[in-house]
Chain A
Amino acid sequence: MVSEKKSLETLTTIERINQQLPGIDEIREWKARGGKVVGWLCDYVPEELIHAAGLLPVRVTGVPKEISLDDANAYLYTTTCSFVRTVFQLAFEKKYDFLDGFVVASNCDHARRLFDVWDRYIPTPYRYILSVPHTKLPQAQKFYERELVDFKKSLEDHFQVSIPEAKIAESIKLFNQARRGLRTLNELRKQDAPKIMGAEIAKIMNACEKLPKEQFNPLLESILQELKTIDRENKTKIRIMVSGSVLNNPNYIEFIEDQGCTVVIDDLCTGVRYWWDEVSEEKPPLEALSYRYLTRFPCARMTPGEDRFKQVAALAKEYRVDGVIQEMVRYCTPTAWERPWLRKGIEDEEIPVLQLEIIYGAAGTGQLKIRVQAFIEMLGMQSEEFFS
């Protein structure tokens, strides 16, 4: 359990960042130096283009707790996904006033409408929506590449910068470095008694998605170094994967782990799906970006869904997971429609599934505790140890 563990020294900065979300020190400093910040929603927005324009790409998310959504309910709707409502509420409360731009990928109904409403009511100077195809077919890739060309031009026009291919190539290298670092970090979780907990990973991801990569990469390197040498005990035996959409509240993961397990891997857009695939450094940059972003580890919106179910189940097996917690943020439509089928896909691989629903940002509750404890107990009884 995290609370009993020795703290990682190198996580101090990460901890501080998580406390300050969304307006962290580094963003303030960036702006103080005259830098501009472009917020993005959804992993289908190619950060490298924003970075190559000399702008700081920052993922727009909530804060690690549930907040009151009065205004969001008034300007959106009570059954709009709680993630989108939280983001809007924060923007409405001026917590995202530091954004010079806001880019949304046309990922799902809620994101598209968030863009519409934000466009009308939040005066961020630059607002853009990217159209993303639902398939990986050649014509889809061509379409998406055209979208990126338009997006690039739009950034150049508004921010009065030029984004030459060489710069994009550089940004790609930098972001790939981060992806490789995160892969190395996550490989460590394959070990039997992982030295790093899921809650800590969630905190690292929060920092990664807000910091300039130039600062994140060395920070991650230092964490990897510390993990090499540090002696950390992990007495939990049960290995869990958390699958879902947006889940970046470390307190929630910690709550799950406190019931007696380790979250060793995830299938989340704020987690694995963010870094899983690298961008080719061989292809021409825009083509490489278009290919990678469209064909990466798929989320629930992509068709055919079967590709995704297979990939999630394969990942669970790769990490020797005892059980999968399939989490859904209310009221996520893509997750809702794939829910029984993804479950089936995982259970067909003989891995038990626990399904949970959560209001975005919420921490653990009494009810959650009972359900997770029961699940872990059941997994414990099914594991070899019990029978040996």
Chain B
Amino acid sequence: MAVVGIDVGHRSIKMVILEDGKILSQKILNTAGETNVLAKQLFDETVAEAELEPSRVRFITTTGGMGKSVAFTNLYRTVPYCLAKGVRALFPQARTIIDMGGETCNVIKLNKLGEIEDTQSNDKCAAGTGIFFEAMAKLLGTSLDHMGKLATQGDIQFEISSMCVVFAEQEVISHCHENPDISAEALAAGIHLSIAERVAGLAKRLGITEEIVLTGGVAKNMGFVKFLSQRIHALARVPADPQIIAAYGAALISQERIDTL
């Protein structure tokens, strides 16, 4: 008996299959096209790769910004709800989740029982999200991973004051002009610190209680995690696969559903 959780974001679809409570398979697909079709495609592929009989999949829960457009789901739950489930399964003491996805950055506060007490997101600006980091990496002419590494090696020579991607890009460019010798490490460090400040500011609005867990694609950036931890004066924990946590949580919810039937 298997259950599935699918997190359908704007830029990628993540899927987790659980069998007997354990992760059988997980997969991420970057999207560029009709979501419902791609979700089905991902589903078929992942199930096939796991050598699973499709009929053995008893329940599918979807989540994510585009989750409602998936036709073949049994249940839709919100991203924060799924994240809470997924994070608490891995970190039973988690009280603050900072989810840094492709387009939004969300802070979720949990009570002692793991229930959601409050949320805060950056609706307008892209600072702290995947898009922002990608834009910066492009500007620096490096890969996302490498930029994170550079950041840990650089010293802080400047900070970005602008909250928005477009202006921030301009600021970085003007720093390069003013200081032609500035190293890639220092640039990366400045960028990462500024974003860490923004995200910390967002989290502060809810109050930060430990344990703090980072999820989402951006959490793979070790440089950022380091700066953020410094900024919030607490260690931010990162799961092994921070991108699939919402899908994992959705799968857990599917499991709960069939357990109660």
B201 touches A73 (CB 8 A): yes
> Whole-angstrom distance from the CB of A77 to the nearest CB of chain B?
10
Interface membership of B178, Cβ < 8 A: yes
Contacts of A71 in B (CB 8 A): 204
Contacts of A73 in B (CB 8 A): 201, 205
Dominant SS among interface residues on chain B = helix
Expressed in whole angstroms, the Cα–Cα distance for A372 and B228 within the complex equals 37
Interface membership of A32, Cβ < 8 A: no
Contacts of B200 in A (CB 8 A): 70
A70 touches B178 (CB 8 A): no
Interface membership of B197, Cβ < 8 A: yes
Contacts of A74 in B (CB 8 A): 201, 204-205
A70 touches B204 (CB 8 A): yes
Expressed in whole angstroms, the Cα–Cα distance for A366 and B200 within the complex equals 27
Contact mask for chain A residues 299-336; partner B; CB cutoff 8 A; 1 contact, 0 none = 00000000000000000000000000000000000000
Contacts of A70 in B (CB 8 A): 197, 200-201, 204
Interface membership of A68, Cβ < 8 A: yes
Contact mask for chain A residues 11-42; partner B; CB cutoff 8 A; 1 contact, 0 none = 00000000000000000000000000000000
Contacts of A68 in B (CB 8 A): 197, 201
> Whole-angstrom distance from the CB of A104 to the nearest CB of chain B?
24
Which residues between 54 and 75 of chain A lie within 8 Å of chain B, taking CB atoms? 68, 70-71, 73-74
Contact mask for chain A residues 325-359; partner B; CB cutoff 8 A; 1 contact, 0 none = 00000000000000000000000000000000000
Which residues between 111 and 158 of chain B lie within 8 Å of chain A, taking CB atoms? none
Expressed in whole angstroms, the Cα–Cα distance for A71 and B178 within the complex equals 32
Expressed in whole angstroms, the Cα–Cα distance for A239 and B205 within the complex equals 45
Expressed in whole angstroms, the Cα–Cα distance for A71 and B201 within the complex equals 8
Contacts of B41 in A (CB 8 A): none
A366 touches B204 (CB 8 A): no
Expressed in whole angstroms, the Cα–Cα distance for A366 and B177 within the complex equals 11
Which residues between 193 and 215 of chain B lie within 8 Å of chain A, taking CB atoms? 197, 200-201, 204-205
Interface membership of B174, Cβ < 8 A: yes
Residue ID in chain B nearest A71 by CB atoms: B204
With beta carbons under 8 angstroms apart, the residue of B174, B201, B205 that contacts A366 is B174
Expressed in whole angstroms, the Cα–Cα distance for A71 and B205 within the complex equals 7
> Whole-angstrom distance from the CB of A92 to the nearest CB of chain B?
11
Which residues between 170 and 201 of chain B lie within 8 Å of chain A, taking CB atoms? 174, 178, 197, 200-201
Contacts of B205 in A (CB 8 A): 73-74
Expressed in whole angstroms, the Cα–Cα distance for A68 and B204 within the complex equals 13
> Whole-angstrom distance from the CB of A36 to the nearest CB of chain B?
33
Contacts of B174 in A (CB 8 A): 366
Expressed in whole angstroms, the Cα–Cα distance for A74 and B205 within the complex equals 5
Contacts of B178 in A (CB 8 A): 366
> Whole-angstrom distance from the CB of B172 to the nearest CB of chain A?
13
> Whole-angstrom distance from the CB of A360 to the nearest CB of chain B?
13
Expressed in whole angstroms, the Cα–Cα distance for A73 and B205 within the complex equals 8
Expressed in whole angstroms, the Cα–Cα distance for A71 and B207 within the complex equals 10
Expressed in whole angstroms, the Cα–Cα distance for A366 and B174 within the complex equals 9
Expressed in whole angstroms, the Cα–Cα distance for A68 and B194 within the complex equals 11
Contact mask for chain A residues 73-89; partner B; CB cutoff 8 A; 1 contact, 0 none = 11000000000000000
Residue among A70, A71, A73, A366 with the highest chain B CB neighbour number at 10 A: A70
Contact mask for chain A residues 134-166; partner B; CB cutoff 8 A; 1 contact, 0 none = 000000000000000000000000000000000
Expressed in whole angstroms, the Cα–Cα distance for A68 and B197 within the complex equals 9
Expressed in whole angstroms, the Cα–Cα distance for A68 and B231 within the complex equals 12
Expressed in whole angstroms, the Cα–Cα distance for A73 and B204 within the complex equals 9
Contact mask for chain A residues 365-385; partner B; CB cutoff 8 A; 1 contact, 0 none = 010000000000000000000
Residue among B197, B200, B201 with the highest chain A CB neighbour number at 10 A: B201
Expressed in whole angstroms, the Cα–Cα distance for A73 and B206 within the complex equals 11
Expressed in whole angstroms, the Cα–Cα distance for A73 and B163 within the complex equals 14
> Whole-angstrom distance from the CB of A86 to the nearest CB of chain B?
15
> Whole-angstrom distance from the CB of A365 to the nearest CB of chain B?
8
Residue ID in chain B nearest A66 by CB atoms: B161
> Whole-angstrom distance from the CB of A32 to the nearest CB of chain B?
33
Expressed in whole angstroms, the Cα–Cα distance for A68 and B201 within the complex equals 9
Contacts of B197 in A (CB 8 A): 68, 70
> Whole-angstrom distance from the CB of A297 to the nearest CB of chain B?
33
Contacts of B204 in A (CB 8 A): 70-71, 74
Residue ID in chain A nearest B175 by CB atoms: A366
Which residues between 64 and 122 of chain A lie within 8 Å of chain B, taking CB atoms? 68, 70-71, 73-74
Residue ID in chain B nearest A365 by CB atoms: B161
Residue ID in chain B nearest A359 by CB atoms: B161
Contacts of A366 in B (CB 8 A): 174, 178
Contact mask for chain B residues 71-100; partner A; CB cutoff 8 A; 1 contact, 0 none = 000000000000000000000000000000
Residue ID in chain A nearest B206 by CB atoms: A74
Expressed in whole angstroms, the Cα–Cα distance for A28 and B149 within the complex equals 47
Expressed in whole angstroms, the Cα–Cα distance for A70 and B198 within the complex equals 9
Expressed in whole angstroms, the Cα–Cα distance for A70 and B197 within the complex equals 9
Expressed in whole angstroms, the Cα–Cα distance for A366 and B205 within the complex equals 31
> Whole-angstrom distance from the CB of B185 to the nearest CB of chain A?
23
Residue ID in chain A nearest B197 by CB atoms: A68
> Whole-angstrom distance from the CB of A2 to the nearest CB of chain B?
23
> Whole-angstrom distance from the CB of B180 to the nearest CB of chain A?
15
Residue ID in chain A nearest B198 by CB atoms: A70
> Whole-angstrom distance from the CB of A24 to the nearest CB of chain B?
28
B residues near A (Cβ < 8 Å) are 174, 178, 197, 200-201, 204-205
> 14 A–B contact pairs at CB < 8 A?
A68-B197, A68-B201, A70-B197, A70-B200, A70-B201, A70-B204, A71-B204, A73-B201, A73-B205, A74-B201, A74-B204, A74-B205, A366-B174, A366-B178
Q: A70-B200, A366-B174 are in contact. List 12 more A-B contacts (CB 8 A).
A: A68-B197, A68-B201, A70-B197, A70-B201, A70-B204, A71-B204, A73-B201, A73-B205, A74-B201, A74-B204, A74-B205, A366-B178
Q: Which 10 A-B pairs have the closest CB atoms?
A: A74-B205, A70-B201, A70-B204, A74-B204, A366-B174, A73-B201, A71-B204, A73-B205, A68-B197, A70-B200
